[in-house]
Structure 1
């Protein structure tokens, strides 16, 4: 009896660990597939922290982001359904054996603010990530130890190959869709429906984070740090560098670095754009040198449309004047340019270039370079068009759509495969009967 209870307890514990690992890996892989560019930016942060960014090709972070998303999702998917019961637990144990010490190093040295495991959906501190990985490592060891007897398949042997293949194909196609279009789930502070002005405000009663900047000056080969309060009056000191650190941690608004500076005369246009009662088109292109110009005709059409209807149109970039001039020469761009922080631009929209529609600081719509509206969509003033009206789908609505697109074809293919197996079995039985007669 004791033996039976022990086996039951082990089975329950292995099942808890199994489904915990499956859920975390599926979620982590799906989030990476949903926002491949965001994952690529985080990989770039890692490479810079390790001093490898200059040694690898520019395409490496983007390929790495795709592979990570597909790999994690597939492992979690296999673990969930009990497919590849030897390979999946082994690979999970290898992954967690590598990630756990890596996140310990991140927690101690803190080269980047967060590991980016779950993108912008769930942001964990480095110490929280390390704690999470300790739990997952224990779960991975448990599942690996009892992988032969403790994992029960949720699908039959007849269709497990189909389910395994479908899971991989689905996440690859989903990743490619999010690269070509935009992330289906937008967890950033500039999502459709977001009020940028409110995102910059500090709630009443909250204290802002205070910073202290120290200036490093040198004199006679000796470097010394000064604050703004004890700034050196002796002109023989020469400036070397400056450092900014957090003096007192407080509330940090979701949007804290949004500003628009006119490239032409240096005028601050931030309040002008955010307070505008009319529509504003923002063409967002962090790097004009690397921007995709395949949709330039549509961009110029949108600009002509905005001029015709009295809407503001600005191209926001972090590019130098030289790159702006080259872009103007190559594309015939007549719209004005403004300067915005590079990281902010990459956060606003995952496309270079991408188009954002604002009205009084609220994000009304977004388009990637592959989704730009054409003359057939822009056939009336924006307030009379669906694309000019805020139509924000809830996360639940989007989740239901994605689950439908996932489960529907999977169920159909599974039924087709079972029907084919049944037909093949009947055919074989008939042939055997005819042979006997």
Structure 2
């Protein structure tokens, strides 16, 4: 039993660390998923709390995993992991039955699971959490209360770090289909011969007050006394799905100009503000400068939003924005970039740059070979990310070694 408890502890530790981290690096993405849940369960009044709840849930999940890994406040961690699994296991069962939200979002955009897959996964981990909770009295305690408290505070700060960075910057690790380097037309393409979705259709006919089910092979077409009532398609086998299923840009008047933007002969800057009434107004002056410099160099520039013409007019009057506006679906814009506003740079349909409103480039950036500049910036960013990962791994390893020595 002792070794089984140890296995459950570390299994849950790695699950919660991974799950909390991949959601934490993209807290806005998880907030949007929480909004989907609120709408599905007719609890829209919780929507203003989505971002705050995203921070708390991601940090709590990561903290529980770190506590289990390092052996700090293990009994508190056992309570935390049990309450998490106690809540989400029946929730995923409800989702699996009624399917109001197709993807649970438990691993962010990193790993997509169906609701039934998520439920089966949760059953296994709920059993591990239940065992750990029942046997929590046998879990080891840290020898020094003061040192344990200090380590606990440090782990709390570490747990809030990924969502803080992910909210004030773009995600450190980008699992979205619109990451840098993606060619949007290619990502939307369906290869020749790719399998299609396979559906089974159940037909309902009524005769003498009795409704019966039929399939496509036994329709009572020769008996006119049967009256069609309804049909119900059921997905039997999922076919090929492109990483980007749809991408549409329109003028405010409703004209589709997607192809002209994606095939633009030069660079094209798209400022993305899914809702102008919720966008960061301080970024407007910087975007005005970028627009002026971009157009002077012959580059395209527009702000794409889901806001209406009236809302756009109010925004222009309020902020003095001088750039043109396009329309697109709000969900699409939230997926394209995790900032409001954010800025993406396209080169013939390929995403070569992305910026959060906190880190927009200066107008002087728009000169010379932007492709070469972006390659250089990507290499620099990759090196920084690798250094951060190595330092984090080294720091956690040293902390784990220290804790083990203290316990011995």
Q: CA deviation at 1:89?
A: 0.8
Q: How does 1:314-329 map to 2 (within 5 A)?
A: 314-329=302-317
Change (3 A) 1:246 1:319: farther
The answer to whether 1:204 aligns with 2:167 is no
Is the 1:257–1:341 Cα contact (8 Å) retained in structure 2? no
1:308-367 Cα deviation digits (max 9, x unpaired): 110000111111110111122222223221111111100000111110001011111101
Supply the distance in 2 between the matched residues of 1:192 and 1:376 (Cα, whole angstroms): 21
Aligned partner of 2:16 in structure 1 is 25
Supply the distance in 2 between the matched residues of 1:248 and 1:137 (Cα, whole angstroms): 29
Change (3 A) 1:376 1:348: same
Supply the distance in 2 between the matched residues of 1:144 and 1:396 (Cα, whole angstroms): 42
Greater CA deviation, 347-356 or 142-151?
142-151
Supply the distance in 1 between the matched residues of 2:393 and 2:252 (Cα, whole angstroms): 46
Q: Give me the TM-score of the superposition, normalised by structure 1.
A: 0.77
Q: CA deviation at 1:294?
A: 0.6
Of 40, 56, 69 in structure 2, the residue corresponding to residue 67 of structure 1 is 56
Q: CA deviation at 1:259?
A: 0.9
Supply the distance in 1 between the matched residues of 2:383 and 2:189 (Cα, whole angstroms): 27
Q: How many residues align?
A: 372
Aligned partner of 2:385 in structure 1 is 398
Is the 1:166–1:410 Cα contact (8 Å) retained in structure 2? no
Is the 2:27–2:51 Cα contact (8 Å) retained in structure 1? yes
Supply the distance in 2 between the matched residues of 1:81 and 1:204 (Cα, whole angstroms): 51
Supply the distance in 1 between the matched residues of 2:353 and 2:199 (Cα, whole angstroms): 35
Aligned residue for 1:289, secondary structure, equals helix
Q: CA deviation at 1:164?
A: 2.0
Supply the distance in 1 between the matched residues of 2:165 and 2:305 (Cα, whole angstroms): 25
Aligned partner of 1:372 in structure 2 is 360
The answer to whether 1:103 aligns with 2:92 is yes
Supply the distance in 1 between the matched residues of 2:389 and 2:23 (Cα, whole angstroms): 15
The answer to whether 1:47 aligns with 2:38 is yes
Unaligned runs of 5+ in 1: 1-9, 213-242, 419-437
Unaligned runs of 5+ in 2: 201-231
The answer to whether 1:166 aligns with 2:157 is no
Aligned residue for 1:86, secondary structure, equals helix
The answer to whether 1:339 aligns with 2:320 is no
Q: CA deviation at 1:17?
A: 0.9
1:200-234 Cα deviation digits (max 9, x unpaired): 0112321344899xxxxxxxxxxxxxxxxxxxxxx
Greater CA deviation, 80-89 or 384-393?
384-393
1:266-296 Cα deviation digits (max 9, x unpaired): 3322111212241110010111121111111
Is the 1:273–1:280 Cα contact (8 Å) retained in structure 2? yes
Q: Give me the TM-score of the superposition, normalised by structure 2.
A: 0.83
Is the 1:383–1:389 Cα contact (8 Å) retained in structure 2? no
Q: CA deviation at 1:156?
A: 7.5
